[in-house]
A and B are shown apart, each in its own frame.
Chain A
């Protein structure tokens, strides 16, 4: 049983509060991803769960036990580190069997289990090599195997893929997902990469400045961001966020910014007039070449990616207004050309001057 509860968990380093009264329950078998920018407290939280940092206040429960005072080795957890942290003076085989040796597993059983996990993560051919002879992807697999072999109730993964190139990252992401499916164990994964969080998580915990900003399934986080920060953090390319103001007129609500003015859907009738930010994801902006649309903006840059084409428009601010179009039909658009854009009314978000979401875009 590996239900993990963090109750009012706080960690301070001198005057700096790294984690502020965190409360969350991670269910048995769940794949939870803590995500946020550098310094948001996600790694500190993971290290407190592992037992490498003592909480300043609050409780950590694993199952029914409070584990605050337990040594890392007594918590029944496994951890994969950002740097993989293999023992450089031991062979891959010795690295993997280290945990079993510490648990005094007999040699024959040790050898058998090392073989099994090595096959599971496809590293059987590396067993007699030294870590320095392995590539980045291979050391990552070894680090996973070393944790797997001890059969922990929960896997803690601290940005395990951040040192790998994009292709390997995708490959190993799939590997993590496969292992989670196969093992049915709890996985707590820390990353600053929103794409990793979106593809891996059953539930995402978004953190910022030591606090949880939002928790939810990847789709909830993507479609219903609670504030400007979450809206901006998730999605690639990220959400278009245009500063402007809401105007409440007798007939309808409107949004006006330096370069454009659009009518707002009905559910924003109650929005207070004044400074507001409008948000819309690039895939919800339709590009038309017949001149009919909500706004017309000049093109700043065209990025043909093959499968899609990204169009960057000048919205009067430093940040470009982006639209995604399928295929390469729009790849011939010239920089400076004025193009009409239609915004999907159901997908418009508004954020108040404090960055909090206004209304519900349903």
Chain B
């Protein structure tokens, strides 16, 4: 086989494998969107219905606006508050992510430039993330109840901030490491103070990394379930908790409604991703290409 033929064949193979993988990755998303528009008779039907026939908005109206189209108890969900949960999730996820990225960046800068943490300490920091949440959640809820943080936004923000800090430090360190020290030194010898150098030189250069780290942690905190389930009760409910209510023992499996809620949960993240997609592509490929 000639070299050009081999190259063409390998390109075709690559595209086939990638297309298959895209199909596998996107199918659940497609299924979620499709189910959210299906009438209840098609949720469980066999053979499966791929395209809702006819498509209906009733799941969305019911879940998000409380429109009761069905009166049988099978479909009534107890105390749904999706917009309140959406507000809670937005506040908790964005504040905890902001704090994690802010403190994580400062620590990462210190580690990258001044070695304030040894390699061992950095690994220990990452190990913090390796502890399964289920191990700490019981003692944590006791502790939280003693200091009055149970079922509060502050409590959830604090625990999300602490658990996502290691990611923020590790990711930001790799981005800051990529900025040549000489660029900072050039700014310093030209008369810039240390802080000025950080804000005017380093931060703009790691902007894409900051955005990528922010979105990564936002996704983690936005979709976190276990900690939210245990340390919140009735006052502070987040979207993943709300979502789980559609698969409870009393309500049964209300797939259409659940899918309609899930679409609503996913959309804010997708919008965020779209707005910052330019930075994301650069951020996630940072360091992979020699500049």
Q: Using a CB–CB distance below 8 Å, which chain A residues touch chain B? A: 50-52, 71-73, 75, 77-79, 81-83, 85-89, 98-99, 102-103, 146, 150
Docked-complex contact A87 and B187, CB < 8 angstroms:
yes
Q: Using a CB–CB distance below 8 Å, which chain B residues touch chain A? A: 180, 182-183, 185-193, 196, 201, 204-205
Docked-complex contact A73 and B180, CB < 8 angstroms:
no
Binding site secondary structure of chain A: loop
Partner of A102, one of B182, B185, B191, B204: B191
Partner of B180, one of A52, A71, A83, A146: A83
Which B residues touch A88, using CB under 8 A?
183, 205
B182 → chain A, closest Cβ, in Å? 4
In the docked arrangement, what's the CA distance between A59 and B252, Å? 80
Docked-complex contact A72 and B182, CB < 8 angstroms:
no
The closest CB in chain A to the CB of B196 belongs to A102
Docked-complex contact B187 and A79, CB < 8 angstroms:
no
Docked-complex contact A85 and B186, CB < 8 angstroms:
yes
Q: With A52-B185, A72-B185, A79-B186 in contact, is A85–B180 under 8 Å at CB?
A: yes
Partner of A150, one of B183, B191, B196: B191
B80 → chain A, closest Cβ, in Å? 47
B189 → chain A, closest Cβ, in Å? 4
Which B residues touch A86, using CB under 8 A?
183, 186
B200 → chain A, closest Cβ, in Å? 8
The tally of CB-CB contacts under 8 A between chains A and B is 57
In the docked arrangement, what's the CA distance between A192 and B192, Å? 30
Docked-complex contact B190 and A83, CB < 8 angstroms:
no
Binding site secondary structure of chain B: helix
Which B residues touch A146, using CB under 8 A?
186, 190
In the docked arrangement, what's the CA distance between A87 and B180, Å? 10
In the docked arrangement, what's the CA distance between A300 and B247, Å? 87
In the docked arrangement, what's the CA distance between A82 and B192, Å? 20
Partner of A89, one of B189, B190, B193, B204: B204
Partner of B182, one of A73, A83, A99: A83
Which B residues touch A78, using CB under 8 A?
189-190
Docked-complex contact B180 and A102, CB < 8 angstroms:
no
In the docked arrangement, what's the CA distance between A86 and B201, Å? 10
Which A residues touch B192, using CB under 8 A?
73, 98, 102
Q: Other than the known A52-B188, A73-B189, A99-B190, what 7 A-B pairs have Cβ atoms closer than 8 Å?
A: A79-B189, A85-B183, A87-B187, A89-B204, A98-B190, A103-B191, A150-B190
Which A residues touch B180, using CB under 8 A?
83, 85
Docked-complex contact A72 and B189, CB < 8 angstroms:
yes
Which B residues touch A87, using CB under 8 A?
183, 186-187, 201
In the docked arrangement, what's the CA distance between A50 and B180, Å? 17
A-B contact pairs, 7 of them (CB 8 A): A73-B189, A79-B189, A81-B185, A85-B180, A85-B183, A99-B191, A102-B192
In the docked arrangement, what's the CA distance between A102 and B193, Å? 9
The closest CB in chain A to the CB of B182 belongs to A85
Which A residues touch B204, using CB under 8 A?
89
Which A residues touch B187, using CB under 8 A?
87, 98
In the docked arrangement, what's the CA distance between A103 and B182, Å? 20
Which B residues touch A98, using CB under 8 A?
187, 190, 192
In the docked arrangement, what's the CA distance between A73 and B196, Å? 12
In the docked arrangement, what's the CA distance between A77 and B191, Å? 10
Interchain residue pairs A-B with the least CB separation, the first 5:
A102-B191, A99-B190, A85-B186, A85-B182, A72-B189
B118 → chain A, closest Cβ, in Å? 14
In the docked arrangement, what's the CA distance between A6 and B197, Å? 29
A150 → chain B, closest Cβ, in Å? 6
The closest CB in chain A to the CB of B191 belongs to A102
In the docked arrangement, what's the CA distance between A102 and B188, Å? 10
B112 → chain A, closest Cβ, in Å? 16
B135 → chain A, closest Cβ, in Å? 40
Which B residues touch A85, using CB under 8 A?
180, 182-183, 185-186
B207 → chain A, closest Cβ, in Å? 8
Docked-complex contact A50 and B183, CB < 8 angstroms:
no
In the docked arrangement, what's the CA distance between A171 and B181, Å? 28
Docked-complex contact B190 and A77, CB < 8 angstroms:
no
Docked-complex contact B186 and A81, CB < 8 angstroms:
yes
In the docked arrangement, what's the CA distance between A102 and B190, Å? 7
Which A residues touch B188, using CB under 8 A?
52, 71-73
In the docked arrangement, what's the CA distance between A66 and B205, Å? 35
The closest CB in chain A to the CB of B204 belongs to A89
In the docked arrangement, what's the CA distance between A71 and B187, Å? 12
In the docked arrangement, what's the CA distance between A85 and B180, Å? 8
Which B residues touch A71, using CB under 8 A?
188
In the docked arrangement, what's the CA distance between A207 and B190, Å? 28
Query: Which has the most chain A C-beta neighbours within 10 Å: B180, B187, B191?
Result: B191
In the docked arrangement, what's the CA distance between A192 and B112, Å? 29
Which B residues touch A82, using CB under 8 A?
182
A215 → chain B, closest Cβ, in Å? 26
The closest CB in chain A to the CB of B207 belongs to A89
Docked-complex contact A81 and B182, CB < 8 angstroms:
yes
The closest CB in chain B to the CB of A77 belongs to B189
